[in-house]
Amino acid sequence: MARPTLPRPRIRRARAAAGDAASRPEPRIAELAAGGLTWVHVAHPTADEAAELASRFGFHELDVEDVLSKRQRPKIDEYPDYLFLVLHFPFYDKAIQRLNAAELDVFVGHDFLITIPNVELHPVTYLQRRCDEDPELRQELFAKGPGYLLYHVLDDLFDYCFPILDKISHKLDRIEDEMHEGRSEEIVRDISNAKQEIIAYRKIIKPERSTLRALERYTERFLHEDLELYYDDLVDAAERIWDLLDNYKEVVDGLEQTNESVISHKQNAVLRVLTVIATIMLPLTLVTGIFGMNVAVPGEGASGPFWAIIAVLVVLGVAMLGYFRLRKWL
């Protein structure tokens, strides 16, 4: 979505007192340059760092607000001099111990690329470290323009997505094996966790698919003609991820239904046994209840009728048990 072209005011920071200058930490902005292209990377920037970038490159104040906000939807904003992208990628959040969305804000201009993740994205950090340590690689990536460099950043991030999918796949295989081993009650929580991971992953990827399809069109200004296929590769990667997630969703739903059927079958077997026991005990309880009434009964005071009643109860119980076995109710 292209925002209206508005005047882009320079964001100026208030001058600090002389005593505050020594206490302010140095900006954590990493910068590389080669072939007329500058790559700036800063993870989770402060307001001062965002203001410094906006003042240097002339970014719109609304984009600065988006960078500092906690969560934005994937989108593309087009300006005459640059593009502003918001993309999401999955990462394991140790604080909540589950998959969460990491936001990557990107500014693409004719002679610069700025990447701003809200948490550290290791593929981006590693790629910039490689470019810093290997001048030949830096020259190779930077010489073809910001669009080509952006492709490599996103390609490494999508490659980082597939190992997470492999872990989900291994988890589903392990759940299936444990289910066949008769551990249905123990894997209910595992199924729930796997289902939660798949749902979280789908929530991250689904809104990003349309953004990636539009990205190819928006970045034509920053791409050489022979690089358009590279962005098709990113779209294909996102679609492969989505297809795998669809497959995993069907698998985990099937495992959940199968596991519930197994548990239900076990519960029905237990209830059947309890019902048979209650049914057998019912006439026996009736007989003992009759002879246990606080009134005079035949044979009272003699031991012979007592043993006769016990024999009747045993024969009655064995006969009912045999009948249930004959009807295959047990």
Residue with token string 């519930």: 260
132 shares a domain with 65: yes
Residue 229 lies in a domain: yes
Q: What CATH number is associated with residue 184?
A: 3.30.460.20
232 pLDDT exceeds 70?
Answer: yes
276 shares a domain with 235: no
26 pLDDT exceeds 50?
Answer: no
204 pLDDT exceeds 70?
Answer: yes
CA neighbours within 13 Å on the CB side: how many for 216?
A: 16
320 shares a domain with 181: no
Instruction: Report d(CA 95, CA 90) in Å as an integer.
Output: 14
220 shares a domain with 131: yes
| pLDDT the model gives residue 156 | 92
Residue 184 lies in a domain: yes
Output the average pLDDT for the chain.
81
Sorting pLDDT into bands at 50, 70 and 90, what band is 246?
A: very high
21 pLDDT exceeds 70?
Answer: no
The region of weakest confidence among 138-142, 163-167, 215-219, 267-271 is 215-219
Q: Tell me, letter by letter, the H, E, C secondary structure of 37-91.
A: EEEEECCCCCHHHHHHHHHHHCCCHHHHHHHHCCCCCCEEEECCCEEEEEEEEEE
Token readout for 11 is 């964001």
316 shares a domain with 210: no
Range of the domain at 94: 23-263
313 shares a domain with 196: no
Residue 222 lies in a domain: yes
What are 84's strand-pairing partners?
77, 107
More confident residue, 179 or 151: 151
| Secondary structure letter of residue 300 according to DSSP | T
The per-residue pLDDT for range 50-70, each reduced to its tens digit, is 888 888 888 888 888 888 887
The per-residue pLDDT for range 100-130, each reduced to its tens digit, is 888 999 999 888 999 999 888 899 999 989 9
| pLDDT the model gives residue 224 | 63
256 shares a domain with 284: no
More confident residue, 138 or 281: 138
Residue 6 lies in a domain: no
Residue 83 lies in a domain: yes
| pLDDT the model gives residue 106 | 92
Sorting pLDDT into bands at 50, 70 and 90, what band is 3?
A: very low
Q: Is 278 helix (H, G, I), strand (E, B) or coil?
A: helix
